[in-house]
Chains A and B, each alone.
Chain A
Amino acid sequence: AQKVTQAQTEISVVEKEDVTLDCVYETRDTTYYLFWYKQPPSGELVFLIRRNSFDEQNEISGRYSWNFQKSTSSFNFTITASQVVDSAVYFCALSERETSGSRLTFGEGTQLTVNP
């Protein structure tokens, strides 16, 4: 069975600080996909990134970066120079066997609050 753990329930930072959201996963599959979603106060789920298990290259997109380490089963998300608009709940998710239909298992989410 697959499982995603986001140990940080809530994080509060001051604007311009860097912040890292942790994600640890469990799966028996060798082929799997990892995702991050953002849920702002308005409630919608916004796709941020999808990473497959064969690609361990870290990715950077503007102020966002992701660190995928298979050795520790982690897929951490860092926001550099945080802004108030980054305040949201962030979910890490795992999908085993892409061809089965992207059945996502979500972590519990981390509530990030960026204070001015």
Chain B
Amino acid sequence: DAGVIQSPRHEVTEMGQEVTLRCKPISGHDYLFWYRQTMMRGLELLIYFNNNVPIDDSGMPEDRFSAKMPNASFSTLKIQPSEPRDSAVYFCASRARRTGELFFGEGSRLTVL
């Protein structure tokens, strides 16, 4: 299996621009999670989906952030407009149905200038 695939791996953009991060979970996994990692706040859960339905988005910082999962094999996290404080590594993870293990992608490092 290819694992959780995230793109882009690195993104540098200017304040005010729209940013879209993409994730392809492991086939057959029923949960998908978006996490953000910063030095100040560590690893924070932003939102998670079960069978493509958003279950808990209480971790989404503000309305500038939105996430979608149109099908079982694809999810996006969008920031519009982006701000320098959004600079972080964004991880996508999917959960194994049987074992409950959470598998992470390699992360998308976002820098907003």
Report which A residues bind B (CB closer than 8 A).
33, 35, 37, 42-47, 50, 91, 98, 101-109
Contact = CB atoms under 8 A, between A and B. Distances in A.
A50 B99 contact: yes
Contacts, number: 51
Contact of A98 (B33, B43, B48, B100): B100
B103 interface: yes
Interface residues of B, number: 23
A89 B11 CA distance: 23
Interface string B19-40: 0000000000001010000000
Sort A-B residue pairs by CB-CB distance and give the 7 closest, nearest first.
A45-B104, A106-B43, A44-B106, A101-B31, A102-B95, A108-B42, A47-B101
Given A45-B91, A91-B43, A109-B42, A103 B56 contact: yes
Interface of B: 31, 33, 42-43, 45, 48, 50, 55-56, 89, 91, 93, 95, 99-107, 109
